């Protein structure tokens, strides 16, 4: 555990790894001792089953009111970061179960932390408590904050932890137990500070953009969110200016890059969804719905700069995994990094089907996905381990390539070129049109040309958000496996209503404004 897992989430006290203290740790810190063994044994099925069963007994005792200390909070956080595959042993295709398990572990850790009063360590104080104990509690509560924010962002729920916000001023020097033990060792305190700052940006983005705010959110969907996106992009650039030069081991550098690119995707993808939502609302309210198929998103879209950066972020994240965070590294990373990869692949699936791309760009994305699937499979040692299950999800989602309509006019501009064109307000880029008579056995036909009037004909499918792996699973396993003949009547019905397959369900756009009345925590993009 110390060699392979600890560097990614270094909240365990250094003395815990002293082998001469193992008997003491097993007696006086049984929850932490059991959690470490449970995580470290995940590739040995027999040993892992024994450790997992024992660990569940200890957790049940906590829930029943047994005494527990800060070591139990640490144990729960470890289990939330490396979710055991045992509860999903019978599930062949991943659908986001890990986030539900992590949510429960983190929620229990927060409750216990509040009960023990360790939340008061968020701010610097003149406490007369033993510095070693105080610093351990502060680190654990900061980790609670990071875990709570990140899992809440992934599943679209509200935050619970009162964490070390920007006004607390916590820096790497406030975590002395993470200081390097030798000049050649990684400085975990700096890595922790970098992740803490990213988490604070995550928190702000979620609060402002992704939490339902009734009429306030309605105004942002009408186009009033650009200022927020620009502010967050500035914050991201500032973070990157500071931390991109950090010298650390490749595995930790990869973890920071994956988190950074996912945050870039999370910020900019809001504009993609807002663009789709406004178009769907217009389609729904139009008196001539059947004559107004949804256009492809191209450089003439008002939010093109945000959308193309979201695509770039997704591609950058997968490139980091494919080229730097090899399967041997991913195998020991916390579960959230697997999910970052999956979310990015799902977003690119949607973007590839709704934005204009050149043939080379489309091929590059498909090759990238193939490499990602192969890497996820190599990172797993069992058929039902996390990498294998989500590799199957991506295989099912991407198994049928889009059919493109043939068009005489073509434009070979790259995404970067279109991004520059959008920034300079360039338009008049050629025409692209889907063949209305094309068959759609897998998913909607796709054109690679840039056009102001590029359009698609939707195929019937369930609603799925790129942030909703359960809905993605439904789409991949059910809707993406039919034939054109099976779905012809449903397809005609959707064409008559002028609706899109990407963001609707039961023929209702995801931007049904009745959902925005009041605070609806279940509505996520």
Nearest 5°: the CA angle 373, 276, 258 is: 35
* pLDDT value at residue 411: 42
Instruction: Tell me how far apart the alpha carbons of residues 305 and 388 are, in angstroms, rounded to a whole number.
Output: 35
Positive or negative: CA dihedral 378, 382, 383, 389: negative
Residue 291 pLDDT level (bands cut at 50, 70, 90): low
- Which pairs count as long-range contacts for 172-177, CB under 8 Å and 24+ apart, including other chains? 174/124, 174/138, 175/135, 175/138, 175/139, 175/142, 176/135, 177/13, 177/14, 177/132, 177/135, 177/136, 177/139
Predicted confidence (pLDDT) at residue 226 exceeds the cutoff of 50 = yes
Least confident of 157-171, 363-377, 404-418: 404-418
Segments in 117-249 forming alpha helices (H): 131-155, 188-205, 215-219, 226-243
Q: What is the pLDDT of residues 486-525, one digit of tens each?
A: 333 333 333 233 333 333 333 233 333 333 333 333 333 3
Instruction: Tell me how far apart the alpha carbons of residues 450 and 457 are, in angstroms, rounded to a whole number.
Output: 17
* pLDDT value at residue 168: 60
- Residue 187 structure tokens: 């400085």
Instruction: Tell me how far apart the alpha carbons of residues 328 and 265 are, in angstroms, rounded to a whole number.
Output: 25
* pLDDT value at residue 156: 81
Reduced to 3 states (helix: H, G, I; strand: E, B; else coil), residue 501 is coil
Predicted confidence (pLDDT) at residue 348 exceeds the cutoff of 90 = yes
- End-to-end Cα distance, the chain: 36
Instruction: Tell me how far apart the alpha carbons of residues 32 and 68 are, in angstroms, rounded to a whole number.
Output: 11
Nearest Cα to 376, choosing from 335, 330, 318?
330
Least confident of 132-141, 175-184, 342-351, 503-512: 503-512
* pLDDT value at residue 493: 30
Q: What is the pLDDT of residues 88-143, one digit of tens each?
A: 667 788 888 899 999 999 999 999 999 999 988 876 665 677 888 999 999 999 99
Predicted confidence (pLDDT) at residue 426 exceeds the cutoff of 60 = no
| Span 257-274, average pLDDT | 93
Q: What is the pLDDT of residues 56-82, one digit of tens each?
A: 999 999 999 899 999 999 999 999 999
Least confident of 92-96, 281-285, 398-402, 430-434: 430-434
* pLDDT value at residue 503: 33
Check residue 214 and give left, alpha or beta (phi > 0: left; psi -120 to 50: alpha). left
Phi, psi of 496 (to 5 degrees): -65, -30
| Span 463-468, average pLDDT | 76
Higher model confidence: residue 289 or residue 191? 191
| Chain mean pLDDT for the chain | 77
Instruction: Tell me how far apart the alpha carbons of residues 512 and 525 are, in angstroms, rounded to a whole number.
Output: 13
- Residue 377 structure tokens: 């499979």
* pLDDT value at residue 480: 58
| Span 206-214, average pLDDT | 74
Residue 449 pLDDT level (bands cut at 50, 70, 90): very low
Phi, psi of 46 (to 5 degrees): -65, -50
Least confident of 33-37, 39-43, 70-74, 91-95: 91-95
Higher model confidence: residue 195 or residue 87? 195
């Amino acid at each position: 555990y110390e060699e392979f897992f600890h560097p990614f989430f270094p909240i365990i006290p250094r003395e815990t790894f002293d082998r001469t203290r193992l008997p003491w740790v097993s007696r006086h810190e049984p929850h932490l001792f059991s959690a470490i063994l449970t995580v470290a044994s995940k590739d040995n099925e027999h040993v892992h089953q024994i450790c997992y069963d024992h660990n569940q007994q200890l957790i049940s005792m906590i829930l029943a009111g047994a005494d527990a200390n800060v070591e139990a909070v640490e144990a729960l956080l470890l289990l939330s970061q490396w979710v055991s595959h045992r509860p999903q042993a019978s599930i062949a295709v991943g659908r986001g179960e890990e986030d539900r398990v992590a949510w429960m572990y983190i929620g229990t850790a927060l409750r216990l932390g509040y009960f023990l009063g360790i939340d008061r360590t968020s701010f610097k104080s003149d406490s007369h408590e033993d510095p070693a104990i105080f610093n351990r509690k502060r680190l654990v509560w900061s980790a609670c904050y990071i875990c709570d924010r990140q899992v809440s962002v992934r599943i679209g729920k509200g935050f619970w932890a009162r964490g070390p916000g920007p006004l607390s001023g916590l820096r790497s020097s406030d975590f002395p137990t993470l200081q390097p033990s030798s000049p050649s060792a990684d400085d975990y305190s700096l890595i922790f500070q970098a992740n803490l700052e990213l988490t604070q940006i995550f928190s702000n983005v979620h609060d402002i953009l992704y939490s339902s705010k009734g009429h306030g959110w309605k105004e942002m969907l009408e186009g009033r969110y650009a200022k927020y996106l620009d502010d967050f992009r500035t914050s991201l650039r500032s973070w990157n200016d500071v931390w991109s030069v950090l010298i650390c081991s490749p595995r930790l550098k990869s973890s920071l890059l994956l988190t950074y690119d996912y945050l870039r995707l999370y910020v900019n993808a809001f504009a993609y969804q807002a663009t789709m939502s406004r178009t769907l609302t217009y389609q729904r309210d139009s008196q001539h719905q059947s004559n107004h198929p949804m256009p492809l998103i191209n450089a003439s879209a008002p939010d093109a700069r945000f959308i193309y950066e979201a695509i770039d972020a997704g591609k950058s994240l997968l490139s980091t995994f494919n080229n730097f965070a090899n399967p041997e590294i991913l195998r020991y990373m916390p579960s959230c990094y697997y999910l970052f990869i999956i979310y990015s692949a799902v977003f690119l699936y949607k973007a590839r089907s709704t934005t204009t791309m050149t043939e080379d760009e489309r091929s590059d994305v498909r090759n990238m996905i193939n490499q990602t699937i192969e890497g996820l499979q190599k990172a797993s040692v069992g058929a039902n381990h996390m990498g294998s299950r989500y590799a199957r999800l991506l295989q099912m989602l991407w198994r049928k390539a889009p059919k493109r309509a043939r068009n005489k006019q073509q434009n070979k501009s790259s995404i970067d070129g279109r991004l520059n064109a959008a920034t300079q307000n360039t338009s008049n880029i050629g025409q692209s049109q889907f063949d209305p008579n094309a068959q759609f056995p897998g998913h909607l036909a796709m054109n690679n040309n840039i056009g102001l009037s590029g359009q698609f004909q939707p195929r019937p499918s369930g609603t799925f958000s790129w942030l909703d792996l359960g809905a993605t699973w439904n789409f991949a396993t059910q809707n993406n496996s039919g034939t054109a003949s099976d779905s012809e009547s449903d397809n005609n019905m959707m064409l008559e209503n002028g609706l899109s397959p990407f963001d609707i369900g039961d023929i209702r756009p995801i931007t049904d404004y009745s959902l925005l009345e009041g605070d609806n925590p279940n509505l996520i993009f």
